[in-house]
Amino acid sequence: MRKPLGKEAWLKLAPGLTVGTDGSPPPLVFLDTDKERLASALHDEGYFQMPPVFTEAELVPVRNALLHFRDEKIPPVYIYLYDQPWHLFHRLTHLIGHFLGDKYAILPNLWAWHLAAPGEAGWSPHRDCDADTVFDIGGDKILMSLSLWLPLTDTTPENGGMYVLPRTAQTGSDEIDLTKGVALPARAGSVLGWAQDLYHWGGEYTADASGPRLSLSLEFQNRAFDPLIEPLLDFSKLPSFDERLALIDAQFAKYRHIDR
């Protein structure tokens, strides 16, 4: 599954990345009007999509590490051994807090993808949480949990891009019509997000693709609700190297039923 490497060996695998360094880049600033627009999209359709917010300088070291991982036959999810993927999501803390409150938690659910050969595909249609995650309380809609998906390369239907089934396309029954799914092409450095009870899936890498699909995902929850899964994490104290190894290793059993 992974090579039995210590911390120093992992660092040599990914020049430009760090493990356990102090501090992180400052959070990005979002206009209130933009946050409200994204919130409206999330509550109306169950998802939102932002144009690129990250610079190439932030993406390149992570992207290069994932490319090297493939050469070494290391599963992409081990990118979370390094600080930089966590830092990318931390840059979105003001946005996440707008949806989930300032004291939101990170769920111990994470993954990374590298699609680069015809026939490889993202995950099949699923929901990240089978229970309702949006509640109407006194006329206000409260979100329990949120998934974020960050493309590190341009993603298209040809290279396995993301699809969602908008809330307006769901009938309220157990039957879902995937033909009503919407493709979400996204440029590198963009941000896609959805309520965790929304159906979504990754496409298939085709012979018409112009480049690989590299992407990251991380999940978050409103601490006003009981933990969906433990241990809950936060950006103020990221897991240690050994804790990250254990966390990553646990993902394989968790997602074995859906990883293609």
Residues in the chain: 260
Partners of residue 44 on adjacent β-strands = none
The token pair at 212 is: 């690989």
The token pair at 115 is: 């699609």
Cβ contacts of residue 123 below 8 Å, gap of 6+?
201, 202, 255, 258, 259, 260
Partners of residue 202 on adjacent β-strands = 162
Amino acid 4: pLDDT: 61
pTM: predicted TM-score of the whole model, two decimal places: 0.96
Q: How far is Cα of residue 30 from the mean position of the Cα atoms in its chain?
A: 19
Q: Each residue's pLDDT tens digit in the chain (260 positions)?
A: 566 689 999 999 999 999 999 888 999 999 999 999 999 999 999 999 999 999 999 999 999 999 999 999 999 999 999 999 999 999 999 999 999 999 999 999 999 999 999 999 999 999 999 989 988 777 778 999 999 999 999 999 999 999 999 999 986 666 789 999 999 999 999 999 999 999 999 999 999 999 999 999 999 999 999 999 999 999 999 999 999 999 999 999 998 867 76
DSSP 3-state of 137: strand
Amino acid 5: pLDDT: 84
Residue type, 28: L
In DSSP notation, 219-242 reads EEE-TTS--SSSS-B-TTSPPPHH
Amino acid 137: pLDDT: 75
CA atoms within 13 Å, Cβ hemisphere of 196: 24
Q: Which of 181, 96, 215 is nearest to 145 (CA)?
A: 96
Q: Which fold has domain 29-255?
A: Jelly Rolls (2.60.120)
Residue 240's CB is within 10 A of a number of other CB atoms, namely 12
Rounded Cα gap, residues 215 and 115, in angstroms: 9
For the chain, strand residue ranges (E) read 47-50, 105-115, 134-137, 140-143, 145-151, 162-164, 182-184, 191-195, 200-202, 213-221
Contact 141, 197 (CB under 8 A): no
Rounded Cα gap, residues 254 and 237, in angstroms: 24
